[in-house]
Amino acid sequence: MASTQPYQQHYRQFSDNPEQFWREQADLIQWYRKPQTILSKDNNDYYRWYSDGELNTSYLCLDYHIEQGRGKQAAIIYDSPVTDSQYTLTYEELRDQVATLAGGLRQLGVEKGDRVVIYMPMVPEAAVAMLACARLGAVHSVVFGGFAPHELAVRIDDAKPKVLITASCGIEVDKVIAYKPMVDQAIAEAGHKPEHTVLLQRQQCQAEMQTPRDIDWHQLMANAQPADPVAVSGSDPLYILYTSGTTGKPKGVVRDNGGHAVAMRYSMKTVYDVQAGDTYWAASDVGWVVGHSYIVYAPLLTGCTTILFEGKPVRTPDAGAFWRVCAEHNVKVMFTAPTAFRAVRKEDPQGLLLQGQDLSSLERIYLAGERLDPSTYNWLSKHTGLPILDHWWQTETAWAIAGNPAGLELLEPKAGSATVPMPGYQVRILDEIGEPLPANNRGLIAIELPLPPGTLATIWGNHQRFEAGYLKQFPGYYVTGDEGYKDDDGYLYVMGRADDVINVAGHRLSTGEMEEIVGAHKAVAECAVIGVADELKGQMPMGLVVLKDGQDIDPAALSEQLRQDVRSRIGGISCYRTTLVVDRLPKTRSGKILRRTMRQIADGRDYQVPSTIDDPAILDEIKQQLAAASGA
């Protein structure tokens, strides 16, 4: 194992004096007025970073780099296999578009503190819109393009935007999805009415305009005067991002300007080891936290070239899409979710589409968003020969809670572990009454307050909900809602949401551990293990598996093999007996498997179709297959 000394020394600097540590990291960005007060408390008695500093995030992402001589460098590479098009925006070109749109928004009445909702596909104009809001000091809220009208309406009512920015359509593989009818329906349903809608017409679908409310994007740009960056305080909000909760009113996570800028620069340096001029690719979408942090803000704050990919890991046109993008654009670091590579592995289990691609520029692959199962980890390691680095964070934190600090040293990875806590996070494993647990004991993962810069400051318009949801369970801690443990080396293992731990005859068992075993079977491409209600034992585990392409195995034989595998690894206490072969698993658009919803279906309980689901028809398929299995 590599020496942990550089990481340990750096982490000790943080833990010995957090304020001094983050005072030094503030030098990573160019402030208009450098903060003197590093850590303070706001009117809600909650911690805030750099509240007396002044800056502008759009300036830091664009103008600053032009002043440093990077104006002609590529800022965004747009790669769109679904439209068969590519183009590049330099830092100067991107700055000009952002400044012009900011001027256009100002003509529509948008000023510092106003909100703007952005409902866009994966096109460069989505990033332009985000940065234009930041330039004015306006607060943007990106809603994933294609969200149902009701969900968009709920977010409009919560954020109360002055303007909504959208496009005529999005494209899912080969299907054109008209956005404008959904936007019109959402505005009709919402109690709050945006004063204007700015619409980007795409050639794949022309939308009907409603005058005078609707404004054409290109006409607005043609008549606007560029706007200069507006100074904001470090604690002023940059954006609201709604969490992908399955029920109830969405939670609007609030990100501030100062702490966010520092944390993004720090994470690019420490977690990803990338510098200005490097090409960095996060294969995700705007509308999810990865898109905010690592498609738009962190790469541009660092002076990198970032890739905006309008496509999928498979079917655009095939399972070699990711390798093509990395080779064509000389990507140094790639970041995506494990579910993306499981899809690639399912269609190309031998990694044939990777062969012949020049991946000499690619140094590391990072995975997050869900637990990295060892079988996917091993497949990627075998076929790429690269470091495959798991890391763990949340919408609420904006950057890694735990990871492999490549900018300090590359630690020896351990399959199933997110590696070690990042400086800024005092991670503790607590029991059910909030007492710390020793190594190798599973419990609730919590973080000592204060959270580091860049993490959520509150829930938009509802600080009480913020406190109730994250802070009240164990005073002095932020409770992540995830369960896991640390080993003797301090490596963190995240086993899943606390409610994914099942109780079998009084024994608490992790479905994540069972998924490791099930997913390691040579015939299994993807799996989920859920706890199903049982009269005798309380809950019994059930596996749902998707087979790799070309696998011809009797489901009963597979079920017995997996029962034996789980029993041999965990013991008879696991009571794992049932495996159901399904065509596909229900997921959110960000790739998270909807285990809770499947559990509700299996138990015969009422359930709501989550607003974030990728394809609602999958739930009907699962319901039918579960019913057939129980009938058998």
DSSP state for residue 452 in the 8-state scheme? P
* Ranges of H-type helices in 190-273: 217-222, 258-270
Cβ neighbours of residue 263 under 8 Å, at least 6 residues apart?
A: 398, 399, 424, 452, 453, 454, 455
Residues 442 and 530 both lie in one domain: no
What would the mean pLDDT of 89-97 be, rounded to a whole number?
99
Element (H, E) at 541: strand 538-547
| In-domain check, residue 364 | no
What is the C-alpha to C-alpha distance for residues 469 and 459, in angstroms, rounded to an integer?
A: 10
Residues 477 and 594 both lie in one domain: no
Question: Are 259 and 93 in contact, with CB atoms under 8 Å apart?
Answer: no
Residue 253 is which amino acid? V
pTM (two decimals):
0.89
Question: Are 41 and 449 in contact, with CB atoms under 8 Å apart?
Answer: no
Residues 460 and 510 both lie in one domain: no
Question: Are 292 and 398 in contact, with CB atoms under 8 Å apart?
Answer: yes
What would the mean pLDDT of 116-127 be, rounded to a whole number?
98
Residues 180 and 288 both lie in one domain: yes
pLDDT surpasses 50 at 2: no
**Which of 424, 143, 169 minimizes the C-alpha distance to 271?**
424
Question: Are 295 and 286 in contact, with CB atoms under 8 Å apart?
Answer: yes
Residue with tokens 């790639």: 334
What would the mean pLDDT of 114-133 be, rounded to a whole number?
98
Dump pLDDT digits (tens) for 530-552: 999 887 788 899 999 999 999 98
pLDDT surpasses 50 at 246: no
| In-domain check, residue 57 | yes
Residues 527 and 453 both lie in one domain: no
With b meaning 16 or more CB within 10 Å and e meaning fewer, what string describes 384-398? beebbbbbbbbbbbb
What would the mean pLDDT of 151-165 be, rounded to a whole number?
95
| In-domain check, residue 326 | no
30-39, 70-79, 133-142, 587-596: lowest mean pLDDT where?
Answer: 587-596
Give me the number of domains the chain comprises: 2
Residue with tokens 């819109």: 129
| In-domain check, residue 299 | yes
Residues 449 and 574 both lie in one domain: no
DSSP state for residue 40 in the 8-state scheme? E
| In-domain check, residue 500 | no
Q: What is the pLDDT of residue 505?
A: 73
Residues 130 and 232 both lie in one domain: yes
Residues 518 and 470 both lie in one domain: no
**Helix/strand number for the chain, H first, E second:** 20, 31
pLDDT surpasses 60 at 529: yes
Residues facing residue 139 across a β-bridge: 115
What would the mean pLDDT of 245-270 be, rounded to a whole number?
87
Q: What is the pLDDT of residue 506?
A: 67
User: At 80, is the secondary structure helix, strand, or coil?
Assistant: strand
Residues 549 and 479 both lie in one domain: no
Residues 466 and 511 both lie in one domain: no
Query: What Rg do the C-alpha atoms of the chain give, in angstroms?
Result: 24
What is the C-alpha to C-alpha distance for residues 291 and 520, in angstroms, rounded to an integer?
A: 30
pLDDT surpasses 60 at 516: yes
Residues 435 and 567 both lie in one domain: no
Sign of CA dihedral 599, 604, 607, 610: positive
User: At 292, is the secondary structure helix, strand, or coil?
Assistant: helix
Question: Which domain range does residue 590 map to?
Answer: 505-631
2-11, 188-197, 239-248, 556-565: lowest mean pLDDT where?
Answer: 239-248
- CATH number for the domain including 278? 3.40.50.12780
Sign of CA dihedral 235, 241, 245, 247: positive
Dump pLDDT digits (tens) for 469-507: 999 999 999 999 989 999 999 999 998 777 677 878 767
What would the mean pLDDT of 541-570 be, rounded to a whole number?
93
What would the mean pLDDT of 5-27 be, rounded to a whole number?
97
Cβ neighbours of residue 399 under 8 Å, at least 6 residues apart?
A: 263, 264, 266, 267, 271, 293, 298, 393, 422, 454
| In-domain check, residue 354 | no
What is the C-alpha to C-alpha distance for residues 411 and 7, in angstroms, rounded to an integer?
A: 9
**Which of 93, 428, 65, 77 minimizes the C-alpha distance to 276?**
65
Dump pLDDT digits (tens) for 20-56: 999 999 999 999 999 999 999 999 999 999 999 999 9
- Asked if omega into 317 is within 30° of 0 (cis), the reply is yes
Q: What is the pLDDT of residue 3?
A: 45
